[in-house]
Amino acid sequence: MSEEQIRDLEAQFEARIARDEKIEPKDWMPEKYRKTHIRQMSQHAHSEIVGMLPEGNWITRAPSLRRKVALLAKVQDEAGHGLYLYSACETLGISRDELYEQLHTGKAKYSSIFNYPTVTWADMGAIGWLVDGAAIINQVPLCNTSYGPYARAMIRVCKEESFHQRQGFEIMIKLANGTKEQKEMAQDALNRWWWPSLMMLGPTDDKSVHTEQSMKWKLKRKTNDDLRQQFIDQTVPQAELIGLTIPDPNLKWNEERGSYDFGKINWDEFWQVVKGHGPCNKERMKARVGAWERGEWVRDAAMAYASKNQERKQDQAI
Amino acid sequence: MKQNLYKYILGIADNSLILGQRMGALTGHGPSLETDIACTNISLDLFGQVRNYYQYAAKLKGDNTTEDDIAFLRKEREYFNVLLVEQPDTNFAYTIARQFLFDSYHFLFLTELQKSYDITLSAIAKKSIKEVSYHKRFSSDWIKRLGDGTEISHENIQEAINELWTYTDELFHQTEEDKIMVKENIGVDVTRLKEVYYDAVNGILKEATLDIPESKWFQKGGKHGIHTEHLGYILSDLQYMQRTYPNMEW
């Protein structure tokens, strides 16, 4: 294909996106579009399955049957999200095994927040309320993103995430209205998860390398800083409602902006965790890689059985 | 209180509780995303059943007893699950073998429990059997895959079946309460399920190219609250929050 033809295709492609048309797997797309989508969608899928670990940590110790069932269902939803995000990613011509390989070797990233430990039951509330809350803010605009399979997957993901967020907040309400010990547990969880949740919305706009291109392809509708502000403005009144204190002495309503001003985020901590030196980076990878390696003989057996079955069917067909 | 019925319900529900606890612990650590989803789903189903049974038991007990009191606040000798369901997840073969040996029984048991004169138990059985028929299909399919898969998987699943076989006979043991409940047409006469159970199980094992264990030495005790050493650790996790933070709502 000549350069001119490619330029022509690119122009048509950009025009389709500008008209809000969906790009489908078999459509022509620029290589960079394909790669960027593989990167973002797989990062999202990896975050879902690594995210199962900190919450899975409390399944055996959930304090009531009702909470246990809800937590199991939530972690199962995350596995489901992982599954269809990996499938959506596969439509771009990469296999799940290759994507796992990228995760296991550290080539692909996942949301850094899952490298923090879940030390008390209240962390199940804080994760639902804050982490899923921040995730929704990130993800709702993606329901209208340009790549069809991703947009459709996100519609379902967002519905479930919003349920998880309410569920998490409900855990916090119960704790905040409970005994002194429960209230302390809730406040402690908020103290530990607040700042990492703000960091979860990504580096500040001047440090974000992918923003401009992603905005053009509707992979992103708002900048990281805008999303972060939206998250803070939405969450602060919720904390006030249940009598918990946001751990930021500089948090103050700004009448003029119609938003909260907030304190300085410790970006050194963010980059430390992103680079693999957070409290649980090693444990999370060890758990994922361990499960994968321990399961190899099981997956081999399933493949061997399937091909034997196929042969048997072929033999019977003649 | 209807003491016999109460204890009979615990005998049924505790199996689902302990197996649900075991399966729930695997979430995120399985060989594939698909098996993770399935194992979590089985755990969810089992806990759903547990809630139905314990809510009924709590009503019978009265004194503001809740499903959580029954689930979390008994001592180790007061849980009446069979020994099979508390056995550890040594590897995926053990998980599948345990599930298969229990599902095969659970399905036959619920089929009969649907006919119970106790309308609540019969209703729970009717609801649960749909879930359990799926569990049975899942675990039987995996027995076949592992048995007739590779040499390694064949060895692993054969070892797990051989090791867990010793706990199968207890499924058909009756306590005094069980016998009374059978007499009142409330309970299931499990002794009558034994033959059809081993026929069904042996059939699947054969199809999976596995040997049927010949051992005639069996372990029992769970139905009388005498457990293997594993149960204590399961309860330590299960009860942790309720014991550490007593009399609180969650």
Model confidence over B9-24: pLDDT tens digits? 999 999 999 999 999 9
As for the ipTM of the complex, it is 0.97
B2-244 homologous superfamily: Ferritin, core subunit, four-helix bundle (1.20.1260.10)
Residue pair A78/A48 in contact by the 8 Å Cβ criterion: yes
Separation in Å, CA of A246 to nearest CA in chain B: 22
Residue pair A272/A112 in contact by the 8 Å Cβ criterion: no
Q: What's the rounded Cα separation, in Å, for the pair A108 and A38? A: 10
Q: What's the rounded Cα separation, in Å, for the pair B135 and B212? A: 22
Q: What's the confidence (pLDDT) of residue A214?
A: 83
Query: Which residues, listed in sequence order, are joined to residue A253 by a DSSP beta bridge?
Result: A260
Q: What's the rounded Cα separation, in Å, for the pair B16 and B54? A: 11
User: Residues B28, B29, B35, B37: what is their CA dihedral angle, to the nearest 10 degrees?
Assistant: -10
Task: Tell me the residue length of chain B.
Answer: 250
Q: Which one of A57, A177, A305 makes the best mutation probe of the B interface by having the most chain B beta carbons within 10 Å?
A: A305
Q: What is the count of residue pairs from A and B with beta carbons less than 8 Å apart? A: 137
Q: Residue B58: which pLDDT band, with cuts at 50, 70 and 90?
A: very high
Asked if B29's CB is within 8 angstroms of A290's CB, the reply is yes
Q: What's the confidence (pLDDT) of residue A205?
A: 85
Tokens of A40: 């973002």
- In terms of phi and psi (left: phi > 0; alpha: psi -120 to 50; beta: otherwise), the region of B187 is beta
Query: Which residues, listed in sequence order, are joined to residue A254 by a DSSP beta bridge?
Result: A259
Which residue of chain A comes nearest to B242, CA vs CA?
A: A63
Asked if B34's CB is within 8 angstroms of A65's CB, the reply is no
Query: Which residues, listed in sequence order, are joined to residue A230 by a DSSP beta bridge?
Result: none
User: Residue B250 is nearest to which of A76, A174, A295, comparing CB atoms?
Assistant: A174
User: Residue B47 is nearest to which of A68, A178, A298, comparing CB atoms?
Assistant: A68
Q: What is the DSSP letter of A147?
A: B
User: Residue B249 is nearest to which of A83, A178, A292, comparing CB atoms?
Assistant: A178
Q: What's the confidence (pLDDT) of residue A220?
A: 83
Q: What's the confidence (pLDDT) of residue A212?
A: 77
Tokens of B43: 């755990």
Q: What's the confidence (pLDDT) of residue A317?
A: 86
User: Residues A288, A289, A292, A294: what is their CA dihedral angle, to the nearest 10 degrees?
Assistant: -110
Residue pair A259/A229 in contact by the 8 Å Cβ criterion: yes
User: Residue A72 is nearest to which of B47, B237, B238, comparing CB atoms?
Assistant: B47
* List of chain A residues whose C-beta atoms are within 8 Å of the C-beta of residue B71: 65
Q: What's the confidence (pLDDT) of residue B202?
A: 98
Asked if A301's CB is within 8 angstroms of B150's CB, the reply is yes
* List of chain A residues whose C-beta atoms are within 8 Å of the C-beta of residue B29: 56, 287, 290-291
Q: For residues B188-209, b (16+ Cβ closer than 10 Å) or e, as one string? A: bebeebbeebbebbeebbeebe
Whether pLDDT at B7 is above 90: yes
Separation in Å, CA of B233 to nearest CA in chain A: 11
Closest to A122 measured CA to CA, from A77, A76, A78, A181: A181
Q: What's the rounded Cα separation, in Å, for the pair A104 and A87? A: 18
* List of chain A residues whose C-beta atoms are within 8 Å of the C-beta of residue B36: 52, 79
Q: What is the DSSP letter of A202?
A: -
Beta strand A252-254 with A259-261: parallel, antiparallel or unpaired? Answer: antiparallel
* List of chain B residues whose C-beta atoms are within 8 Å of the C-beta of residue A49: 28, 33
- Whole-number mean pLDDT of chain B? 97
Residue recorded with tokens 């990062």: A43
Q: What's the rounded Cα separation, in Å, for the pair A281 and A135? A: 20
**Relative orientation angle of helices A148-176 and A65-90, to the nearest 10 degrees:** 160
For residue A300, the surrounding DSSP H or E stretch is helix A296-317
Q: What's the rounded Cα separation, in Å, for the pair B231 and A46? A: 34
**Relative orientation angle of helices B92-113 and B194-207, to the nearest 10 degrees:** 140
What residues have CB less than 8 Å from B201, skipping those under 6 apart?
B100, B101, B104, B168
Q: What's the rounded Cα separation, in Å, for the pair B209 and A15? A: 60
3-state SS assignment for residue A23: strand
Q: What's the confidence (pLDDT) of residue B47?
A: 98
Could you tell me where the DSSP H helices lie in A19-64? 31-56
Separation in Å, CA of B108 to nearest CA in chain A: 25
Tokens of A12: 């048509």
User: Residue B156 is nearest to which of A56, A175, A297, comparing CB atoms?
Assistant: A297
Which pLDDT tens digit goes with each residue over B176-185?
Answer: 999 999 999 9
- Amino acid present at B246: P
- Amino acid present at A166: R
Going residue by residue through chain A, which has 318 residues, state the pLDDT in tens, using 9 for 90 and above: 788 998 999 999 999 999 999 999 999 999 999 999 999 999 999 999 999 999 999 999 999 999 999 999 999 999 999 999 999 999 999 999 999 999 999 999 999 999 999 999 999 999 999 999 999 999 999 999 999 999 999 999 999 999 999 999 999 999 999 999 999 999 999 999 999 999 999 999 888 777 778 888 888 888 999 999 999 999 999 999 999 999 999 999 999 999 999 999 999 999 999 999 999 999 999 999 999 999 999 999 999 999 999 999 998 887
* List of chain A residues whose C-beta atoms are within 8 Å of the C-beta of residue B245: 63, 179, 181-182
| In chain A, beta strands by DSSP E | 252-254, 259-261
Asked if A82's CB is within 8 angstroms of B92's CB, the reply is no
Query: Which of residues A122 and B215 earns the better pLDDT score?
Result: A122
Residue recorded with tokens 């047409």: B185
| In A66-222, beta strands by DSSP E | none
User: Residues A140, A146, A150, A156: what is their CA dihedral angle, to the nearest 10 degrees?
Assistant: 40
Q: Which one of A50, A59, A173, A182 makes the best mutation probe of the B interface by having the most chain B beta carbons within 10 Å?
A: A59
Q: What's the rounded Cα separation, in Å, for the pair B212 and B168? A: 13
The answer, for B88 touching chain A at a CB cutoff of 8 Å, is: no
Q: What's the confidence (pLDDT) of residue A8?
A: 92
Q: Which one of B18, B23, B33, B69 makes the best mutation probe of the A interface by having the most chain A beta carbons within 10 Å?
A: B33
**Relative orientation angle of helices A148-176 and A132-139, to the nearest 10 degrees:** 150
3-state SS assignment for residue A254: strand
Q: What's the rounded Cα separation, in Å, for the pair A72 and A146? A: 33
User: Residues A101, A102, A105, A109: what is their CA dihedral angle, to the nearest 10 degrees?
Assistant: -140
Q: Whole-model pTM above 0.90?
A: yes
Cα angle A56-A61-A64, degrees, rounded to a multiple of 5 = 110
Q: Which of residues 180-219 of B touch A (CB under 8 A)?
A: none
What residues have CB less than 8 Å from B195, skipping those under 6 apart?
none
Q: What's the rounded Cα separation, in Å, for the pair A264 and A247? A: 12
